[in-house]
Structure 1
Amino acid sequence: MHTLTANEAKTQFGDMLLKVQREPVQINRNGKPVAVVVSVKDYQQLEAMKLQLLQAKIQRGRSESDAGLTVDGDTFFNDLMEQYKE
């Protein structure tokens, strides 16, 4: 992943837009990561993956619910976000 400072991202915005077509670009401010810029294609793929994971969790939850195994909402979404991070 390419990394830019916030100032570089501002002054090299056009170049950054070209870079994100190849790979995500991390933006750092004061040496700390604050954002990641991705292409529309990558963003759409991430959103589609999140939807698939959510649908799979819902389907699994229905099966578990039918079997008497349930999980609370906080646990469900925490598990979902952990899978998303991987």
Structure 2
Amino acid sequence: MDHISPESIGRFLTVADASEILNVSVDEVRELIQSAELPAISVGSPGRWRIERRVLEDYIEQKYEETRRMSLWREANAASIQDISEGPKHRR
């Protein structure tokens, strides 16, 4: 599969589809499913996972939000460390 567009796929994605969209390996997608980080359903024979397109889009949005929050936390944490390292200002 060269390129996956929302118009070319149905409601459910295969693990291979999801790995291409996320630009990670099939094994990494399976790990996300097994850890329940990425919700999926087992269809047919054992190990045949399907990820709802909407669920994958929600997962991507959550990762963006997580990244944004971590960035804000690091900025706040760095500012606090800088404030502490400067120490209290003494008056003479």
Task: Report the TM-score when normalising by structure 1.
Answer: 0.44
Task: Report the TM-score when normalising by structure 2.
Answer: 0.41
The one of the two structures with greater contact order (alpha-carbon pairs below 8 A, sep at least 6) is 2
Q: Name which one, 1 or 2, has greater alpha-carbon Rg.
A: 2
